[in-house]
């Protein structure tokens, strides 16, 4: 039986009301059952993935898909075991729902509690990697939300297979509502679903900036996303070459295709020329193309082969590739100014031995993640200890930076009275106590 998208959205809304009150124990039972079923269906998953890989191969031969996309698409025994483990590790995390965030006695017999609760219905749009079906389902179920997933076309067989396995488990838990986890497969379905403003509470588009903007223009539902990841590293004059080297090489080359990789390197002009030369040489040896400011060009263009003059556009570009913009600056203030002007508020790092300059940098750079003497690549939910993440947000409301379970809940105020109207507290009447109660958990 097929249902319309409106019905699907309404079913998810209705499911979200039931999921909000599911016990921690029950949610963990489902997560562990997911893990078990994933392991049992290893061959099924691999053969679905094989179909996607065959289609992808055809696209690659037509030049329509890159090698790295195919790598991301491809599943194997290790990755599938990792999916099962992912469900188990999310089961082991504390339940983000039902936390008492604030408790205030307004008056005798009038107590206010602020309690965390699920957001409701989430729409998550993602590309290529089929593991995302697993990661997102785990996080949304644990946080008591209903979810509508939309994966990339190139992974449609793998996604459908994984969804089918989860759906079967959900149907075995007869107390779980229909519509807990949903999968959409066509792009048209997304255009229609984002219009169901009353049935969606949050959209998380994990994709290009263009996708994010398109959704913001066509929906009234809040969007949690990252725009670009134009991450900077600033090498201050007080830092040694060896420290700079590890951080900069790591930030640029360890995994250049991801959003927390460095795109622009700012170097204090007092850093010795030979140190800069060693660093740039090392970057070039690692396959990095250098696009430099005029000052760098003047100093190094005849000492290093292949350096290109950076255009204005380069400072605003997320390469997600082995390309790096490099600029000399005369002070940390200039570095901060550059970052706040050209950055995307994702992750920016300073390398310095001077704590006061580091603190100033971290206070004044307006980004989700500001690092002192560490690679930008640390901006990640797993590395932060969140167990898992739904993505990295460059939004400045709701949740910022790597978003784990905490970012999938909101709260409600519960007031426990004994018959009061506000008129009792009018002038000359009773006074509010506003006494903090000790937190209950």
Q: Which of residues 397-436 bind its own copies (CB under 8 A)?
A: 397-398, 400-402, 410-423, 425, 432, 434
Interface with its own copies: number of residues (CB under 8 A): 71
Residue of 53, 110, 139, 293 that binds its own copies (CB under 8 A): 110
Residue number, 422 or 440, with CB nearest to its own copies? 422
Which H/E stretch holds residue 205? strand 202-205
Extract the tokens encoding 182. 């949903």
Single out the residue of 347, 321, 324 nearest to residue 257, CA to CA.
321
Site for its own copies in 1-40 (CB under 8 A): 17, 20-21
Which one among 62, 78, 274, 385 touches its own copies, defined by CB under 8 A? 385
Q: CB 12 → its own copies: shortest distance, Å?
A: 13
Alpha-carbon span 24 to 31, nearest angstrom: 11
Q: In the complex, what is the shortest distance from the CB of residue 203 to its own copies, in angstroms, rounded to a whole number?
A: 10
* Nearest CB to its own copies, comparing residues 119 and 357: 119
Chain positions 293 to 352 lying near its own copies, rule: CB under 8 A, are: 340, 351
With the C-alpha atoms ordered 43, 49, 55, 57, is the resulting torsion angle positive or negative? negative
* Choice from 375, 388, 391, 394 touching its own copies (CB under 8 A): 375
Residue with tokens 């999916």: 83
- Residues 372/352, Cβ–Cβ less than 8 Å: yes
Instruction: Say whether residue 395 binds its own copies (CB under 8 A).
Output: yes
Our CB check for its own copies shows the closer of 301 and 340 to be 340
Site for its own copies in 210-269 (CB under 8 A): 213, 216-217, 220, 222-224, 242-243, 246-247, 249-251, 254
Binding-site member from 40, 54, 273, 366 for its own copies (CB under 8 A): 366
* CA 418 from centroid of its chain's CA atoms: 44
How far apart are CB 358 and its own copies at their closest, in Å? 8
Total residues found in the chain within this entry: 441
Q: What DSSP assignment string belongs to 36-89?
A: HHHHHTHHHHHHHHHHHHHHHHHHHHTT-S-HHHHHHH---HHHHHHHHHHHHH
Given 369, 389, 390, 405, the residue binding its own copies (CB under 8 A):
369
What residues between 77 and 106 interact with its own copies by CB under 8 A?
A: 104, 106
Q: Given CA atoms 154, 74, 386, 374 in this order, what sign does their dihedral have? A: negative
Distance CA 177, CA 234 (A): 51
- Please state the closest distance from residue 58 (CB atom) to its own copies, in A: 34
CA separation (Å) from 28 to 38, 93, 139, 380? 15, 9, 11, 24
């Amino acid at each position: 039986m097929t249902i319309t998208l409106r019905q699907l959205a309404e079913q998810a809304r209705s499911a979200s009301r039931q999921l909000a009150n599911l016990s921690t124990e029950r949610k963990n039972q489902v997560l562990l059952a997911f893990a078990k079923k994933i392991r049992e269906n290893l061959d099924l998953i691999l053969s679905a993935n094989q179909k996607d890989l065959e289609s992808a191969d055809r696209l690659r031969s037509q030049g329509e898909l890159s090698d790295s996309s195919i790598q991301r698409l491809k599943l194997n025994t290790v990755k599938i075991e990792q999916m099962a483990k992912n469900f188990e590790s999310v089961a082991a995390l504390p339940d983000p729902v039902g936390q008492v965030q604030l408790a205030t006695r307004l008056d005798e017999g009038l107590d206010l509690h602020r309690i965390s609760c699920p957001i409701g219905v989430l729409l998550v749009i993602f590309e290529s990697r089929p593991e995302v079906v697993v990661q997102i389902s785990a996080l949304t179920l644990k946080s008591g939300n209903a979810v509508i997933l939309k994966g990339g076309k190139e992974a449609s067989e793998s996604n459908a297979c994984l969804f089918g396995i989860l759906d079967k488990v959900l149907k075995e838990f007869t107390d779980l509502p229909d519509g807990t986890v949903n999968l959409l497969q066509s792009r048209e379905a997304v255009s229609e679903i984002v219009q169901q403003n009353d049935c969606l509470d949050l959209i998380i588009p994990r994709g290009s900036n263009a996708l994010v903007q398109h959704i913001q223009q066509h929906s009234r539902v809040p969007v949690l996303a990252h725009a670009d990841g134009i991450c900077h590293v600033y090498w201050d004059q007080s830092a040694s070459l060896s420290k700079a080297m590890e951080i900069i090489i790591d930030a640029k080359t360890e995994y250049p295709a991801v959003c927390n990789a460095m795109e622009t390197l700012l170097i204090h002009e007092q850093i010795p020329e030979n140190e800069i030369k060693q660093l740039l040489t090392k970057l070039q040896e690692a396959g990095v193309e250098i696009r430099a400011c005029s000052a760098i060009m003047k100093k190094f263009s005849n000492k290093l082969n292949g350096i290109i003059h950076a255009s204005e556009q380069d400072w605003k570009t997320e390469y997600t590739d082995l390309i790096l913009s490099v600029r000399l600056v005369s002070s940390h203030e200039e570095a901060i100014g550059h970052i706040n002007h050209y950055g995307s508020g994702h992750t920016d790092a300073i390398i310095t031995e001077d704590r006061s300059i580091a603190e100033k940098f971290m206070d004044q750079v307006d980004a989700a993640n500001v690092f002192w003497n560490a690679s930008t690549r640390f901006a990640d939910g797993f590395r932060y200890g969140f167990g898992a993440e739904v993505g990295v947000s460059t939004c400045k409301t709701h949740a910022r930076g790597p978003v784990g379970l905490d970012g999938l809940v909101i709260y409600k105020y519960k007031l426990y009275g004994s018959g009061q109207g506000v008129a009792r507290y009018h002038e000359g009447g009773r006074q509010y106590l506003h006494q903090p109660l000790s937190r209950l958990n």
